[in-house]
């Protein structure tokens, strides 16, 4: 199991779709003679000489070695066709019903064609898409040539924001009407973002000409990769074919050897989207960019011109963002649930190589008071499960790893000095200041995984001995990872803090702690990636294929479902946007036979009491109320699927939403005894009101700021880097502080409740 890839989200290169999407746009009926063409029309693509052999190799690997034993039959053919059409035209904006009717003759024959290495059906469909995409861009350019003042923004009409479940368009007139509405949506979005009307037409014309140019640069390799990924997606979403260029990008990503911003990218509709952030990379450290954010433009240096990358190929966007360490790249970023027309956030990042030391676990101590009694809770923040394999193989006794670092941190927390102790005193003469913490919180939020070996070893620091995870292969064989040293680094009260971005190896650790009843799991439902991939070289490119699933010692899979916390927090990440359950054809949750392991004292009798105390505490906490209100606001906005194209209505809706946000903020501030903001502008300049945000002790309450950071993430505001970093730390502290409170509840209840062993 040497080549296991324990990454949380399949890296970036999810089916390379060149299709137009969501709010790309389109016009009020073209007049005859308005057609506009550029030189160099599309040339139909055909398979390269190597493609048939590669297709046969992919088919053989899938049939023989994928975790799902799926026959190559008519059902697979049908699913492959559906995946292919969805990848090309996810928003049903290009193909007509007559196109789909013509493609139906391939529904149950693609399997036979693939066995022969026949790729003609795939290229026929791709070329039809290319033609429709070219027609759309030429139509949009023709409308722009007439002037945007010919568009009627007083007319009451709407644009469906998500057409993925809608029927394909009935005829050319219906398609042109959709394109017209999309163009109106794009123009209106720019108007609402305060772009000058005289600049809107040229900006969109440049964008569409750029897309047309890139469309005409599409290669047969692009079509082949897309088709192979439609085939592999019929098995599961983490199995992917990588072309030679894509393979190079993937290998660089996995080795972290690239000097860049430290972000894993993927394509969703027309946008390059953040799939995940590399811990300690420039993007993660900036605190200004989050998973699911969309990149709309890229600029080089401090004053380079922004290049609009909406609709670009993923590898071309990656090439723009990459660069030597020490150089600057600027991005225009849109949050996933920002209002249509909201201006993008502009952020500046200095490229650098990610160092293993910067991903190291860190610790701190939090003081929690209960009346006259004070508790000291140690916090260990683990950004990823890392290990320096090279140093280990060379026999370096000081090789770096998650487990070694955490063990050292536990030893330090067991001898943490009181703040009032004299820092200059001789430690040997100041033993009274050296006391163990009362409990430990392991913070795995945003930890996307890493080394399986380290997940196993880290679990062993908290249990005496026993299995930690089960790995089931496609053949049904189950292998166990075990902790066998009999050593425990910490046997005291323990909590594990997780969220939706805790994945893979994080889920192994959290699941084991929960199954052993060794500690409390607190936070949000985890990502749910319970599959294992291996890389298989091919004659051309490589295949990343799912070959195993991992299971908890209780026999439950983390696949799809993730780990359900014992005590749940409000979820600041939309489960409909992020997580294994959002991926098409994700493997199901299931169970296998549990392995033998020794559980700790039964926590079940305490969970209801802990939940009651938690709910009682946060019910009256204005900061948690604010967080919940902002989550509800985000859900309401995400649920909208009709975008008004009437300017007055759009402006009214935006004003209503801004008023709601201001009201939510001022409700919190009023409950805290803080002065209310008079306007949204005042709210957005938080740095100018820093003094007002301090409580009577001169320090802002730890839970106060969770919602402020969430609000910025939802609305796409652009506080300066220092302010953004402060707010991100505050968001983390807000939920962390409550985790420490819950652990103190557990401490006090454990002293009075009799815990029974199973």
Q: Which domains does the chain have, with CATH numbers?
A: 51-217 (no CATH), 256-350 (2.30.42.10), 359-600 (3.90.226.10), 618-740 (no CATH)
Q: Residue 272 — pLDDT band, cuts 50, 70, 90? A: confident
664-698 pLDDT, tens digit each: 989 888 888 889 888 887 877 653 343 233 333 33
pLDDT reported for residue 693: 37
pLDDT digits (tens, 9 = 90+) for 699-725: 333 333 333 433 343 333 333 333 333
Q: Which regions of 44-195 does DSSP assign to beta strands (E)?
A: 158-160
Which range among 40-44, 80-84, 113-117 shows the weakest confidence by mean pLDDT?
Answer: 40-44
Q: Does residue 338 register a pLDDT over 90?
A: no
Model's pTM, two decimal places?
0.77
> Does 444 score more than 70 pLDDT?
yes
pLDDT, residue 585, reads 87
- Where is mean pLDDT largest: 96-100, 163-167, 219-223, 717-721? 96-100
What secondary structure letter does DSSP report for 754?
P
Residue 106: which of 72, 79, 69 has the closest Cα? 79
Question: Which DSSP helix (H) or strand (E) runs through 189?
Answer: helix 172-192
Output the pLDDT for position 562. Answer: 95
Closest CA relative to residue 292, chosen from 315, 273, 320: 273
Strands of 531-679 (E only): list them.
531-537, 542-551, 567-568, 642-644
* Among the listed residues 229, 287, 509, the one whose alpha carbon sits nearest the alpha carbon of residue 380: 509
Look up 679 and say whether it is catalytic.
Answer: no
Q: Name the H helices within 396-464.
A: 402-413, 452-460
Is it the case that residue 419 has pLDDT exceeding 80? Answer: no
Most confident of 229-238, 329-338, 422-431: 229-238
Please tell me the least confidently modeled range out of 172-181, 381-390, 652-661: 381-390
User: What pLDDT does 372 receive?
Assistant: 85
Does pLDDT of 758 surpass 80? no
Integer Cα distance of 733 and 618 in angstroms: 15
**Radius of gyration in angstroms for the set of CA atoms belonging to the chain, rounded to a whole number:** 27
Active site residue 355: no
DSSP classification of residue 717? -
Q: Are 402 and 387 in contact (CB under 8 A)?
A: yes
Q: Which helix (H) or strand (E) covers residue 176, if one does?
A: helix 172-192
Residue of 79, 293, 381, 515 marked active site? 515
Highest mean pLDDT: which of 84-88, 415-419, 711-715? 84-88
Tokens 């995946």 sit on residue: 83
Could you tell me the pLDDT band of residue 170, with boundaries at 50, 70 and 90?
Answer: very high
Structural contact between residues 158 and 642, judged by C-beta atoms closer than 8 angstroms:
yes
> 3-class DSSP state for residue 522?
strand
pLDDT at 56: 97
Q: Which among 533, 358, 387, 532 has a CA at the least distance from the CA of 458?
A: 387
* 515 among known catalytic residues: yes
**Matching residue, tokens 């359900």:** 564
- Comparing 182-186, 475-479, 706-710, the range with the smallest average pLDDT is 706-710
Beta strands 494-498 and 373-381 are unpaired
Q: How confident is the model at residue 330 (pLDDT cuts 50, 70, 90)?
A: very high
Lowest mean pLDDT among 61-75, 353-367, 549-563, 640-654: 353-367
Place of tokens 């899938």: 62
Mean pLDDT within 460-486? 93
Query: Predicted confidence band at 5 (pLDDT cuts at 50, 70, 90)?
Result: very low
Tens-digit pLDDT profile for residues 365-415: 999 998 888 999 999 999 888 887 777 778 888 888 899 999 999 999 988
pLDDT at 95 over 80: yes
Residue pair 121/104 in contact by the 8 Å Cβ criterion:
no
> Which member of 184, 285, 287, 529 is catalytic?
529
Judged by average pLDDT, the poorest of 143-157, 319-333, 555-569 is 319-333
Catalytic residue among 243, 504, 506, 557: 504
Output the pLDDT for position 34. 42
Q: Which of 261-265, 397-401, 458-462 has the highest mean pLDDT?
A: 458-462
Contact 457, 513 (CB under 8 A): no
Structure tokens at 345: 């956030």
Q: What burial letters (b/e) apply to 35-68, b meaning 16+ CB within 10 Å?
A: eeeeeeeeeebebeeebbebbebbbebbeebbbe
């Amino acid at each position: 199991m040497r080549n296991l890839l324990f990454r949380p989200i399949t890296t970036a290169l999810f089916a390379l779709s060149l299709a137009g999407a969501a709010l790309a746009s389109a016009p009020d009926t073209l007049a005859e003679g308005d057609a506009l063409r550029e030189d160099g029309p599309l040339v139909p693509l055909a398979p390269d000489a190597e493609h048939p052999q590669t297709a046969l190799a992919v088919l053989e690997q899938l049939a023989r070695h994928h975790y799902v034993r799926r026959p190559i039959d008519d059902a697979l053919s049908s699913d492959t066709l559906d995946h292919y059409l969805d990848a090309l035209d996810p928003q049903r904006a290009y193909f007509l019903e007559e196109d789909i009717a013509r493609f139906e003759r391939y529904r149950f024959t693609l399997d036979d064609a693939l066995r022969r290495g026949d790729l003609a059906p795939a290229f026929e469909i791709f070329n039809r898409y290319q033609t429709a995409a070219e027609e759309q861009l030429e139509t949009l350019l023709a409308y722009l040539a007439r002037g945007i003042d010919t568009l009627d923004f007083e007319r009451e009409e709407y644009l469906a924001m998500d057409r993925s479940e809608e029927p394909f368009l009935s005829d050319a007139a219906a398609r042109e009407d959709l394109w017209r509405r999309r163009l109106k949506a794009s123009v209106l979005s720019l108007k609402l973002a305060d772009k000058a009307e005289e600049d809107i037409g040229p900006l969109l014309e440049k964008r569409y000409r750029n897309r047309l140019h890139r469309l005409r640069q599409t290669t047969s390799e692009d079509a082949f990769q897309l088709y192979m990924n439609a085939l592999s997606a019929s098995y599961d979403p983490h199995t992917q074919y990588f072309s030679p260029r894509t393979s190079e990008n993937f290998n660089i990503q996995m080795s972290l050897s690239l000097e860049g911003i430290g972000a894993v990218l993927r394509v969703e509709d027309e946008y390059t989207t953040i799939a995940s952030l590399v811990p300690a990379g420039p993007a993660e450290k900036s605190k200004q960019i989050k998973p699911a954010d969309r990149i709309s433009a890229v600029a080089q240096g401090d004053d380079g011109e922004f290049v609009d990358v909406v609709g670009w190929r993923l590898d071309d966007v990656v090439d723009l963002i990459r660069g030597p360490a020490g150089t600057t790249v600027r991005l225009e970023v849109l949050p996933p649930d920002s209002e249509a027309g909201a201006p993008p956030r502009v952020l500046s990042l200095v490229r650098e190589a990610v160092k293993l030391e910067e991903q190291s676990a860190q610790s701190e101590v939090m003081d929690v008071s209960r009346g006259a009694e004070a508790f000291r809770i140690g916090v260990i923040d683990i950004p990823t499960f890392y290990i320096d394999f090279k140093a280990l193989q060379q026999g370096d006794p000081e090789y770096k790893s998650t487990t070694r670092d955490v063990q050292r941190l536990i030893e330090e927390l067991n001898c943490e000095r009181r703040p009032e102790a004299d820092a200059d005193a001789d430690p040997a003469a100041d033993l009274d200041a050296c006391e163990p913490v009362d409990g430990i919180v392991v913070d795995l939020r945003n930890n996307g995984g890493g080394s399986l070996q380290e997940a196993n070893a880290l679990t062993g620091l908290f249990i005496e001995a026993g299995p930690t995870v089960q790995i089931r292969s496609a053949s049904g064989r189950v292998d166990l990872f075990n902790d066998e040293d009999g050593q425990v680094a910490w046997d005291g009260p323990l909590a594990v803090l997780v969220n939706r971005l805790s994945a893979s190896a994080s889920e192994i650790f959290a699941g084991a702690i929960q199954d052993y009843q060794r500690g409390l799991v607190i936070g949000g439902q985890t990502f749910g990636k319970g599959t294992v991939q291996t890389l298989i070289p091919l004659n051309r490119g490589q295949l990343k294929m799912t070959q195993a699933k991992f299971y908890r010692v209780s026999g439950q899979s983390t696949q799809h479902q993730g780990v359900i916390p014992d005590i749940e927090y409000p979820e600041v990440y939309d489960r409909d946007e992020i997580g294994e359950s959002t991926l098409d054809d994700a493997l199901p949750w299931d169970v296998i036979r549990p392995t033998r392991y020794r559980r700790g004292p039964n926590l079940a009798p305490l969970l209801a009491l802990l939940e009651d105390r938690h709910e009682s505490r946060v019910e009256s906490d204005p900061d948690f109320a604010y967080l919940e209100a902002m989550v509800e606001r985000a859900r309401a906005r995400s649920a909208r699927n009709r975008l008004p194209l009437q300017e007055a209505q759009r402006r009214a809706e935006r004003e209503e939403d801004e008023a709601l946000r201001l009201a939510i903020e001022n409700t919190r501030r009023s409950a805290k005894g803080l002065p209310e903001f008079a306007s949204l502008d005042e709210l957005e300049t938080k740095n100018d009101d820093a003094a007002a945000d301090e409580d009577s002790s001169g320090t802002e309450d730890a839970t106060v700021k969770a919602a402020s950071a969430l609000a910025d993430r939802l609305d796409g505001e652009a506080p300066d880097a220092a302010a953004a970093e402060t707010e991100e730390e505050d968001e983390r502290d807000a939920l962390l502080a409550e985790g420490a409170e819950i652990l103190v509840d557990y401490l006090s209840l454990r002293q009075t409740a009799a815990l029974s062993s199973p």
